Structures are given as structure tokens and as C-alpha cells.
Homo-oligomer: A and B are copies of this chain.
């Protein structure tokens, strides 16, 4: 392979830039050219290409977001659009594509494989919900951001003996909520894999004489009605704090920058050596090659976390 494309797709997540950097530096070593595709699959359709060199990617390891931009393309789902991609790529001499993103992005890569384009994926999503990998890029940074917010709110809660519900990201996955809850020693954690009943939360909160912090994964629904009910039952003030989109931004945590660079280089090696239809995961701090079919399987919470530590936190 002489020329490889790279794009970031879906929600941006910290570590994507490090992955771009790792791929570009590994490519230069092998005399391969890397072409950045701007704005995800949208840019692929619109031929928004940006040649990348090691001097261009210098220092981007430490930048949040993605220098290539991203999109949540709807058009790409239309067969007539997607069908055009092979011609676009062959006309620019791009022999294969590295796709950085989450579940939907990997499915896009699988569709390109069906159209005959070799692709390798890199897990870029804060949700940590892909199979075959210990970490997805951005997860630890997002958890760190949420932990810092909870630590700040804990200062306030302790000073005012207040009760806070803190909504963290995770539509289908309790990974961020569990990490935040255990890292901060929160009083209760509610996750979509095993949502608590109102009574369980009431029981726990009603015992709190002073402050209490409830970590609430967004996949558990809107906490407002429960908070309203608790306000009346307990005659106490209950605040809801939504951390929101800022969990997806910021300078990457060291682990995400490290994994990003590592995975980017591994993706380049993998695709340039002719292996594809593969996501680069990480196990034991090394890259591993994960077939797409495994990668897009849901990544359940480790059993120990869900069956041992969740009840330990919530019922103490």
C-alpha cells in the first residue's frame, strides 16, 4: 500500500488526535502516504482530503477533539452515496482506510469492506462499549472529567449538607457511571444495565444525615421526577447536575494519548501488511487485532463490577 486514508467519525473523543499522529508517524517510517479525510464519512463523499505529514501532526497528541473534524453522517447510510466511495478512493489512489470512531463508525467501515475497500478500525468513543478491548479512546478522559466535576460538587455538598444527582454520559452503558462512582466513593450509582428502583434510592438517601451524591447514567432516564418525589418525601433540597457534552472534550488523559498513539501506529502496520476488517483493541497495554464482528458486540461491564461492587456501594 502506498496511500492510506484516515478519518474520524461520530462523536469526537479525546485520543483521536493521538491516533492520527501515531498512524502518520508509522506511515512515514514505511514510506506510506497518509491522507486525512475531513468531517468523517461526509468528507469521504465530498472528497475533502488533507494530506498529513509528521510535521503537520506534531503536538496534536495533547489536543482534544479531532483536527480532521467529524460528522454523524446520515447520507452515508444511503446505498447510492456509499456506492460512490470506491471510485472516489481509487481516483485518488487511496488503497485503504483507517476509521476512528464508535459502533456506528465501525458499521460504516464494514459497509466499505463489502464494497471492496480494506479498512481497519480504531475504537474512538467515550462509552467504552466495544468488544475485544479493555479501553476505547476517550473513555478514561471522560471519566476523569466527570470525576473532577463530582469532586467539586462533593465540596459543595459537604459544606451545605446537600444531595446531588449527577448525570454522566452512558446511554447504554454504565462504564462511566461505575468508574465515577467507585473513584469518588459516591453514595449510590444508577446504571442502565441494572437500574435501581425508586425505593432503593429512597432507602439509601433517607439514611444520609449529611450530604449524598448519586451518580446517574443518562441511560437510566430523566432523574427529575425521582428527585421531585424525593424532595417531597424527605423535605430536603435535591439538586440535579448534568455534566453533559464537556465530557467529550479536553486535553486527553495520559492513557488516552498513549493508547491513541499506540493504536494509530498498530492500525497502520495492520492495514499496510494486508490484514483488514479488523479493529485495533488493547489488552494488557498492547494492541490486539479484533475482528469487526467481535468489536461491534456489546461490551458488558466486568461481572465483578456489576455483581460485587455495585451492590457494595449501593447497599452499604
Contact = CB atoms under 8 A, between A and B. Distances in A.
Interface string A300-316: 00111100110011011
A21 B258 CA distance: 29
Number of copies of this chain in the oligomer? 4
A309 to B, nearest CB: 6
A213 to B, nearest CB: 10
Interface string A16-30: 001001100110110
A310 to B, nearest CB: 11
B241 A244 contact: yes
Contact of A12 (B155, B244, B309): B155
A18 B179 CA distance: 13
Interface residues of A, number: 88
Interface string A238-273: 010110111111111111011001100110010000
A106 interface: no
A152 B145 contact: yes
28 contacts: A12-B160, A18-B183, A18-B185, A25-B312, A57-B185, A59-B154, A59-B158, A59-B185, A140-B255, A147-B254, A151-B250, A151-B251, A152-B246, A152-B247, A153-B245, A153-B249, A154-B249, A155-B249, A156-B246, A156-B248, A179-B258, A241-B245, A242-B242, A253-B253, A265-B308, A286-B302, A286-B303, A286-B305
